[in-house]
Structure 1
Amino acid sequence: MTEDDRRRGRHETEEERADRMWGELIQEVRVAQTGVQILFGFLLTVVFYPKYGQLPDTDQHIYIVTVVLGACTTGALIGPVSLHRLVSGRRVKPRAVRLAARLTFLGLVLLLATMTSALLLILRVATHDTYVPWLVAAVVAWYLVCWFGLPLWARRRHTAGPENR
């Protein structure tokens, strides 16, 4: 067994690996996509409520930014599906998987921004207290730990050689 085999942990061709990784990626995208679509759908309805017109300009601007971020997030998370459909059968799956993974990561970053913006807007409307930015910062820190910190820690810990443990 070569060092590369030990690192990969599987005996698979590049195409088999791309097929497996594609399946895993699509499952991950399904989870994120559902949440984004529900959030985006709710965001689209806010402007039609009478209270929207009574919001201060700052809150209306935050709303607009939130909707645009939600649209961008939706685009990034649906992108891998379109990519797969357009390149299917063209023998470029390994490259398509890498590109789709980048789109998905971008979608997660945009989702973080969308959730932050939506939370800021909701808490500003629900309460006018000065602790709102602190609450938002705490939730963003939690997202960063859950979405990026722990996965990066696990990747580093479990892919490092024995000399780094």
Structure 2
Amino acid sequence: MSGVEDFTGSSGRNETREEQLDRNWAELLQELRVLQTGVQILAGFLLTLPFQNRFESLDAFQVGLYLVNVVVATLTTAFILLPVSVHRRLFRQRLKETLVSSADTITKIALAGVGMLSVGTATLVFDVTGGRTAGLTAGGILLSVLLVLLIYVPLRLNRRAAGR
């Protein structure tokens, strides 16, 4: 090849380390695109609420939850954009491993933000439409389900794969 040794890491692929990093970077970008769409939909929904007539009838808890959701949406959007900013700063500096590693961590934070935003938005909707008990119940159940889906299942699959 081009002076770079072949690298066959845990993926079992016959690729150089540079090729693996390029593939990992492309996969991370695709994951961020998926996250971005979800955040845009939820953030767009949140940003339209203050312009609805019923918004004025929200109580202090609902307004506070709404504002927390807006902050989470904004921060999650920033985390989704952060790997692109890091890439611009590290571009052509032969720091692809640093880029991929940091983007992996950043993507995990963004994923947590999407989960929090989903739970917070659903809690707000249930609270406004069904009352406080319905909102808190729905929020608690959704938080539990998302913790299982986003943390427990991947950890379990990782352990299962490591045991093979």
Normalising to structure 1: TM-score of the pair? 0.88
Percent of aligned pairs with the same residue?
35
Q: Does 1:95 align with 2:77?
A: no
Question: Residue in 2 aligned with 1:117?
Answer: 120
Greater mean deviation of Cα atoms: 130-139 or 53-62:
130-139
**Aligned-residue CA RMSD (Å):** 1.7
Question: Residue in 1 aligned with 2:3?
Answer: none
Deviation string 1:69-120 (CA, Å, 9 cap, x unpaired) is: 0000111111112222332211101110110111110001111111111111
| Deviation of the 1:129 alpha carbon | 5.5
| Deviation of the 1:134 alpha carbon | 2.3
Contact 1:7–1:159 (Cα < 8 Å) also in 2: no
| Deviation of the 1:52 alpha carbon | 1.2
Q: Does 1:55 align with 2:55?
A: no
AA in 2 matched with 1:138: I
Q: Which runs of 5+ in 1 are unaligned?
A: none
Count of aligned pairs between the two proteins: 158
1:6 and 1:72, CA in 2 relative to 1: closer, same or farther beyond 3 A? closer
Normalising to structure 2: TM-score of the pair? 0.88
Question: Residue in 1 aligned with 2:154?
Answer: 151
Of the two structures, which has the highest relative contact order with CA contacts closer than 8 Å and spacing of 6 or more? 1
Q: Which runs of 5+ in 2 are unaligned?
A: 1-6
Question: Residue in 2 aligned with 1:11?
Answer: 14
| Deviation of the 1:10 alpha carbon | 2.4
Question: Residue in 2 aligned with 1:44?
Answer: 47
Greater mean deviation of Cα atoms: 131-140 or 25-34:
131-140
Deviation string 1:1-43 (CA, Å, 9 cap, x unpaired) is: xxx9573422333211110100111111111111101111111
| Deviation of the 1:131 alpha carbon | 3.9
Moved over 6 A (4+): none
